[in-house]
């Protein structure tokens, strides 16, 4: 097989269990997904590699599908990097696919749709096998009111009230395509699809919907909370462990999504 | 509330993630579920407590529902022990219910039906969020042949060929009520219900069915394997982590099951 040694841009689709990581982005205080990928790729390709991630998920947040790119002049065929990389990664990080993309393709500089799922375990006693992937909430929840509240979040809005202080986003306007509540056995799934998310935005949305479910906020309070552009107006931030990035779709060239 | 101080026998229904434990039964080489329960109960009741477990699951095996009993003269109402105990247990062990049973009720000396589920992850790349609860098998599997083979296991048989050496069981005859294969998304679930199971029996059944699925054994080999009464005749032992005890039903007085 003939393989060119020119510089190539490679995209990898990454799934991970966030339990044991301090999030995506390199930190001083603990090991991260980005760090593990850089280490494994540098070992594999024999040159210093630094990935650029699409979504820099928080500590404890999981992904069925996140995306990163890196440049390399290494000779391994793009599609095979996936397997070679998995052999050098811990079992809680898996590369689902690797492929070459145009050299100017950047995962954060192109239109995309992302879907997050937040899972709430509603049984009286938290199920031990689900403890790492769900938030345990045992109380009456008015799902009808929560669904009504969710609809108020759909569309293009300034989500500053749903953004943790400390965000460096240039604008706090985002478009949410859909917020869906779905009961799966003893779990309530809140599925949010949007073109981008601010710092802690999904977790604050979930914390706010839970306030509605408990009757401490009304569905029609949501437009007022959005209007205030004040983090203090929204509900608390739900814990990270219930959150999973489940789907990434790119809408521009070099794009496509991976079937989960 | 008046609470008698007579000796009572209390039954607890226990769920656990087996990942971090050396099985149920107390061992020298690592921490076990039994040990954690004894410690928490002894602390809670202020007297040395030793539980008697129904199923002494292996290292790494999970339970949505296992059962244990213990005797105490402590004053805490039986139903409240559940909550007080959970406060003293790690999150990967949860007590689902506690209740008084007749003082001669013994979880291993009464007729019962137990259901185990074995989960196989069939995606090309192992899903990180399911790595602790499934066995990853990425190859063609003939599910029709596996289902046919499974039927040969149903009924009362001498399961010596499906019993790991080292078992101290008096008899190797057991009754399997049902073996069902079910596809759930990318997972194959093998659900086995029986009146009792020998050492590693479900894991050897799964390992043998996978040999049938791969075409290395035929469904009609199962009766021959049973006849041989020889562990060497059956397939390999599937890994512990895919196995979960999901249901316990007692058929005699003091019995009943807990709705999972």
ipTM: 0.90
Provide the residue-wise pLDDT of chain A in tens; the chain has 260 residues: 445 568 999 999 999 999 999 999 998 889 999 999 999 999 999 999 999 999 999 999 999 999 999 999 988 999 999 999 999 999 999 999 999 999 999 998 888 999 999 999 999 999 999 999 999 999 999 999 999 999 999 999 999 999 998 767 789 999 999 999 999 999 999 999 999 999 999 999 999 999 999 999 999 999 999 999 999 999 999 999 999 999 999 886 555 666 54
What are the residue numbers of the active site of A?
58
| pLDDT reported for residue A29 | 86
Cα gap A165→A234, rounded to integer Å: 13
Cα gap A234→A238, rounded to integer Å: 12
Provide the residue-wise pLDDT of chain B in tens; the chain has 260 residues: 445 568 999 999 999 999 999 999 998 889 999 999 999 999 999 999 999 999 999 999 999 999 999 999 988 999 999 999 999 999 999 999 999 999 999 998 888 999 999 999 999 999 999 999 999 999 999 999 999 999 999 999 999 999 998 767 789 999 999 999 999 999 999 999 999 999 999 999 999 999 999 999 999 999 999 999 999 999 999 999 999 999 999 886 555 666 54
Structure tokens at A166: 């400390």
| pLDDT reported for residue B258 | 63
| pLDDT reported for residue B44 | 96
| pLDDT reported for residue B173 | 96
Domains B8-109 and B112-247 are alike in CATH topology = yes
The residue count for chain A: 260
Cα gap B123→B186, rounded to integer Å: 6
Cα gap B96→A111, rounded to integer Å: 47
Give percent of chain B with pLDDT exceeding 70: 94
Cα gap B51→B31, rounded to integer Å: 15
Q: Please judge whether B91 and A133 are an interchain contact, meaning their C-beta atoms are less than 8 angstroms apart.
A: no
Helices B143-153 and B201-213: crossing angle, nearest 10°?
140
Q: Which of A64, A94, A244 sits opposite B126 (nearest CB)?
A: A94
| pLDDT reported for residue A147 | 98
Cα gap B81→B216, rounded to integer Å: 51
Q: Which of A16, A125, A129 sits opposite B128 (nearest CB)?
A: A16
Q: Please judge whether A129 and B133 are an interchain contact, meaning their C-beta atoms are less than 8 angstroms apart.
A: yes
Pick from A134, A20, A115, A109: nearest CA to A64: A115
Cα gap B112→B30, rounded to integer Å: 29
| pLDDT reported for residue B110 | 85
Task: Report the first-to-last Cα separation within chain B, whole angstroms.
Answer: 30
Beta strands B135-136 and B112-121: pairing type?
parallel
| pLDDT reported for residue A168 | 74
* Contacts for A184 with CB less than 8 Å, ≥ 6 apart: none
Looking at domain B112-247, its CATH class is alpha beta
Query: Mutation test of the interface with chain A: which of B57, B82, B125, B128, choosing the one with the most A Cβ atoms within 10 A?
Result: B128
| pLDDT reported for residue A166 | 74
Q: Please judge whether A125 and B93 are an interchain contact, meaning their C-beta atoms are less than 8 angstroms apart.
A: no
Structure tokens at B65: 């529902």
Q: What is the CA radius of gyration of chain A?
A: 19
| 3-state class (DSSP) for residue A56 | coil
β-sheet bridge partners, residue A52: A69
Q: Which of A91, A93, A125 sits opposite B94 (nearest CB)?
A: A125
Task: Report the first-to-last Cα separation within chain A, whole angstroms.
Answer: 30
Structure tokens at B42: 């002894």
Cα gap B121→B144, rounded to integer Å: 18
Pick from A117, A63, A64, A85: nearest CA to A11: A85
Helices A201-213 and A143-153: crossing angle, nearest 10°?
140
Cα gap B202→B243, rounded to integer Å: 8
Active site residue B17: no
Tell me the CATH number for domain B8-109.
3.30.70.580
Give the helix ranges, DSSP H, for A138-218.
143-153, 201-213
Cα gap A156→A175, rounded to integer Å: 4
Instruction: Tell me which residues of chain B, numbers 35 to 54, contact chain A at a CB-CB cutoff of 8 Å.
Output: none
| B133/A contact by beta carbon, under 8 A | yes
| pLDDT reported for residue B259 | 54
| B92/A contact by beta carbon, under 8 A | yes
| pLDDT reported for residue B169 | 73
Residue boundaries of the structural domains of chain B: 8-109, 112-247
Distance from CA of B238 to the nearest CA of A (A): 19
Do A161 and A225 form a contact (C-beta atoms < 8 A)?
yes
Cα gap A93→A95, rounded to integer Å: 7
State phi, psi for B100 to the nearest 5 degrees. Answer: -80, 140
| CA atoms within a 13 Å half-sphere pointing along the CA-CB vector of B243 | 23
Q: Which of B15, B125, B133 sits opposite A96 (nearest CB)?
A: B125
Query: A57: which DSSP letter?
Result: P
Output the CA torsion A9→A11→A17→A20 (10° steps).
0
State phi, psi for B223 to the nearest 5 degrees. Answer: -60, -35
Quick: pLDDT tens for B222-242. 999 999 999 999 999 999 999
Q: Please judge whether A129 and B94 are an interchain contact, meaning their C-beta atoms are less than 8 angstroms apart.
A: no
Please name the residue that has the structure tokens 């790349």.
B125
| pLDDT reported for residue B75 | 87
Q: What is the CA radius of gyration of chain B?
A: 19
Instruction: Tell me which residues of chain A, numbers 108 to 127, contact chain B at a CB-CB cutoff of 8 Å.
Output: 125-127
| B136/A contact by beta carbon, under 8 A | no
β-sheet bridge partners, residue A179: A192
| pLDDT reported for residue B252 | 67
Structure tokens at B150: 């499974």
| pLDDT reported for residue A256 | 63
State phi, psi for B83 to the nearest 5 degrees. Answer: -70, -45
| CA atoms within a 13 Å half-sphere pointing along the CA-CB vector of A120 | 21
Global pTM reads 0.92
Query: Mutation test of the interface with chain B: which of A36, A57, A125, choosing the one with the most B Cβ atoms within 10 A?
Result: A125
Q: Please judge whether B125 and A86 are an interchain contact, meaning their C-beta atoms are less than 8 angstroms apart.
A: yes
């Amino acid at each position: 097989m003939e393989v060119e040694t020119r510089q190539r841009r490679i995209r990898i689709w990454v799934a991970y269990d966030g339990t044991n990581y301090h999030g995506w982005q390199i930190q001083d205080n603990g090991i991260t997904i980005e760090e593990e990928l850089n280490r494994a790729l540098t070992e594999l390709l024999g040159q210093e590699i630094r990935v650029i991630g699409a979504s820099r998920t928080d500590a404890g947040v999981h992904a069925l599908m996140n995306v990163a790119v890196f440049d390399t002049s290494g000779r391994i065929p793009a599609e095979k990097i996936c397997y070679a990389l998995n052999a050098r990664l811990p079992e809680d990080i898996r590369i689902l696919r690797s492929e070459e993309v145009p050299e100017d393709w950047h995962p954060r500089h192109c239109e995309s749709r992302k879907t997050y799922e937040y899972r709430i375990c509603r049984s009286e006693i938290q199920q031990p096998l689900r403890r790492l992937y769900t938030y345990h909430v045992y109380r009456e929840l008015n799902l009808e009111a929560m669904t009504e509240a969710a609809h108020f979040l759909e569309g293009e809005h300034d989500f500053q009230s749903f953004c943790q202080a400390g965000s460096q986003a240039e604008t706090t306007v985002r478009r949410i395509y859909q917020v869906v509540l779905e009961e799966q056995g003893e779990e309530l799934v809140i599925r949010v699809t949007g073109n981008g998310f601010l710092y802690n935005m999904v977790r604050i949305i979930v914390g706010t919907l839970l306030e509605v479910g408990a009757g401490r906020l009304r569905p029609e309070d949501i437009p007022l909370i959005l209007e205030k552009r004040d983090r203090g107006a929204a509900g608390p931030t739900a814990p990270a462990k219930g959150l999973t990035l489940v789907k990434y779709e790119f809408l521009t060239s070099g794009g496509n999504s991976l079937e989960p």
